[in-house]
Amino acid sequence: MSDWIRKSVTDMQAYIPGEQPQGDEVVKLNTNENPYLPSPEVLDILREIDIADLARYPDPSCMEVRKVIADLHGSSVEQVFVGNGSDEILALAMRAFVERDEKVGFLEPSYSLYPVLAQIEDLQYEQVVLNERFNWSTPEGLETALFFLTNPNAPTSVSAGFEQIKSFAEQVKGVLLIDEAYAEFAEWNCMDLALKHAHVLVSRSLSKSYSLAGIRCGYCVGHADLIRALYKIKDSYNVNYITQEIARVALMDQETMKANVEAVKETRRLVSEKLFNFGFEVFDSQTNFLWVKPLGISASTLFQSLKQRNIFVRYFGEAKQTRDYLRISIGTAPQMFSFLDAVEEIING
């Protein structure tokens, strides 16, 4: 059978998503979903959708969604690409901007999909390894055709300074794609860099701040030439009709999104303080999750002990940089109280 499969695919390690446990008793804090309901406009548009429209193909250019995004960020429609989740944008960027003999770059640790996408395309990649505080500096002699800069970073929750990223954007030679899946939870963002520099793209997701992980919609903003390249190679109808309608109304309702974000940030603050009082090391978070190092118990043991209580957080295995840490998504207040009670019970034996 392996004779029929590309060698790069046979040899690669597949991306491993977070577990998707089911049941009312489960406290699911492992995939960075937003625990609050999306805009009420979403329910209204679902009620208004004519079932006859599902017999027709959706708009291949997502024009109505792009108009809303362009208005939101002060760009032209030609500077906006809408994708089937921001993951599709990452994959298309690999195909559009990197020759076979060129390299892709990204931080390590960061989003574990990046090396998988590079291996699928049989591309070499260069990792900029974070230091022990999960910060980074521009390496000497970096030569990448495409660099994925996750900011704020995942899984570490840490954000680099704007001046550092601005300086990096001015130095990097290839395309710089700033992956801002968590931008709305941060104190600042890099959208202005995408509007200013011809080689910079900024991608966003509706999965986190808009509470719409289930519709799979993301977008990026950048120079019109880069956007045209992505549209050249995308699937014919990459974003379905229902997703386009939901995304359009949700993006127009900034008030609900911002209220949900503020609720997450306040809960994040309270949980961070409580874990700190437990003696945990808690990194400053600019996301909808916390990156923590437990005290008096290994991360893997705490992960398994929580799982036995139907509380799911994310553990990234025994890699040197991540083996002592857990990533904890911020859920509702009752979910986080259940989590904190369980942690206290576990660490107290």
- 18 pLDDT band (50/70/90 cuts)? confident
Spatial contact of 326 and 157, defined as CB atoms under 8 Å apart: no
**CA–CA separation, 132 and 110 (whole Å):** 14
Spatial contact of 193 and 204, defined as CB atoms under 8 Å apart: no
The fraction of the chain above a pLDDT of 90, given in percent, is 90
- Beta-strand pair 103-108/124-129: parallel
The DSSP line for 26-94 is -EE-SS----S---HHHHHHHHH--GGGGGSPPPTT-HHHHHHHHHHHT--GGGEEEESHHHHHHHHHH
Residue 287 CA, chain-centre distance (Å), reads: 10
In whole numbers, what is the pLDDT of the chain averaged over residues?
A: 96
- For domain 40-252, give the fold: Aspartate Aminotransferase; domain 2 (3.40.640)
My answer on whether omega of the bond before 155 falls inside 30° of 0, hence cis, is yes
Residue 51 CA, chain-centre distance (Å), reads: 32
pLDDT tens-place string over residues 195-229: 999 999 999 999 999 999 999 999 999 999 999 99
Least confident of 13-27, 128-142, 315-329: 13-27
In the chain, domain spans: 2-37+255-347, 40-252
- 3 pLDDT band (50/70/90 cuts)? confident
The DSSP bridge partners found for residue 125 are 104
pLDDT of residue 1: 60
The DSSP line for 130-160 is --TTS---PPTT---SEEEEESS-TTT----
Q: Is the pLDDT of residue 22 over 90?
A: no
CA dist 257 to 26, 30, 179, 212, 261, Å?
A: 25, 21, 19, 11, 6
The owner of tokens 């369980």 is 342
- For domain 2-37+255-347, give the fold: Aspartate Aminotransferase, domain 1 (3.90.1150)
- 24 pLDDT band (50/70/90 cuts)? confident
94-104 average pLDDT score: 97
pLDDT of residue 245: 98
pLDDT tens-place string over residues 108-121: 999 999 999 999 99
pLDDT of residue 110: 97
Q: What share of the chain is helix, strand, coil (3-state, %, to 5)?
A: 45, 15, 40
- Beta-strand pair 146-150/124-129: unpaired
pLDDT of residue 23: 81
321-349 average pLDDT score: 96
DSSP code for 267: H
Other beta carbons less than 10 A from residue 219's beta carbon: 26
Matching CATH topology for 2-37+255-347 and 40-252?
A: no
pLDDT tens-place string over residues 46-83: 999 999 999 999 999 999 999 999 999 999 999 999 99
